[in-house]
Amino acid sequence: MYQKVNAGQSFLTKMKDIAGQLQETQTGALTKAAEICAEAIVHDRLAFIFGAGHSAIPVMEIFPRIGSFVGFYPMLELNLSYNSRVVGDMAMRQASFLEKQEGYGEAILQNYDFCPPDCMVLFSHSGINELIVEMALGARKRGLKVIAVTSLSHSMAHAPRHSSGLRLSEAADVVLDTCVPEGDALLELQGLSWRVASASTIAACLLADSLVAETAAALLSRGMTPLVYPSHNVNSSPEEIQKAMAQEELVLQEFRRRRARVV
């Protein structure tokens, strides 16, 4: 008979352990990654961010997001980042197929006018599929530094699928390890053959916001005040709300200006 356990608490405990590992092991890599992003932003260029499937979620977490700032550029391909329909048009089979095709990443990259010190942050739990490796190699070919956010324990346990023989972590200049175990899901429950409750998106978002914070600090140390996206959904005075809305308009205008130079 199934013995009920407090699975939710078990998951939170495991996620707390992963968050602790991130804090203990990724500080140095975060500093390096933030310096690369700050170098692009302070020179009026962009830190491009990309992920496919659920790895598009931390891309959206970085920008546009309250508390983030202009300088990050989300590269979101609809047919790679929206598979909530599961089956039918723009569904999971198609997205999974595209992630495994060489040539598709290059087609994406050709839409942009990259110029160093632009850089690119790439999210992928496994880090072994053709698309994400091609994005990294294509970015480096164009002179961009590449930051990989990936699970090293998962990636190194599996053979890379790209013809170069490289994993994302091996094609990057800086690697942020999510510290998520192979397979992503964390909990083994009696009666189930497969583990449940995935960790990669949460861990990637923790690193994403840590990178935002560290980049902001790096910009301030260089004498640049980042243009922060504010919240105006708070109980403030009308004057403060108007101030926040004006700041939001500045963010959108400045993002549009930078975007016009690369697309």
Distances (CA, A) of 61 to 65, 101, 116, 164: 6, 26, 24, 31
pLDDT, residue 258, reads 96
Q: What is the DSSP letter of 69?
A: B
User: pLDDT of 207-224, one tens digit each?
Assistant: 999 999 999 999 999 999
pLDDT, residue 25, reads 98
Mean pLDDT value of segment 143-167: 97
pLDDT, residue 263, reads 87
How high does pLDDT run on average in the chain?
Answer: 95
Question: Residue 158 has which token pair?
Answer: 């599996």
Mean pLDDT value of segment 15-42: 98
Question: Residue 84 has which token pair?
Answer: 């909530």
83 has pLDDT over 80: no
Chosen CATH of 7-229 out of 3.40.50.10880, 3.30.479.30, 3.40.50.10490, 3.40.50.10860: 3.40.50.10490
Radius of gyration of the chain, Cα coordinates, nearest whole angstrom: 19
Q: What is the band of 2 on the pLDDT scale with cuts at 50, 70, 90?
A: low
Alpha helices in the chain (DSSP H): 7-25, 27-42, 56-62, 78-81, 92-99, 104-109, 130-141, 152-155, 200-221, 238-259
Q: Which of 20-24, 92-96, 123-127 has the lowest mean pLDDT?
A: 92-96
Distances (CA, A) of 233 to 60, 66, 67, 251: 19, 10, 13, 16
Q: Which of 83-92, 131-140, 171-180 has the lowest mean pLDDT?
A: 83-92
Percent with pLDDT over 70 in the chain? 98
User: pLDDT of 44-67, one tens digit each?
Assistant: 999 999 999 999 999 999 999 999
pLDDT, residue 3, reads 62
Percent with pLDDT over 90 in the chain? 86
**Burial of 135 from C-beta contacts in 10 A (0-12 / 13-18 / 19+):** buried
Q: What is the band of 236 on the pLDDT scale with cuts at 50, 70, 90?
A: confident
Nearest to 125 by CA among 167, 92, 94: 167
What contacts 33, CB < 8 A, 6 or more positions away? 121, 147, 174, 176, 211, 214
Taking phi over 0 as left and psi of -120 to 50 as alpha, with beta for the rest, 71 belongs to left
Higher-confidence residue of 88 and 40: namely 40
Q: What is the DSSP letter of 230?
A: P
One-letter amino acid for residue 204 of the chain: A
pLDDT, residue 1, reads 52
Enumerate the β-bridge partners of residue 187: 196
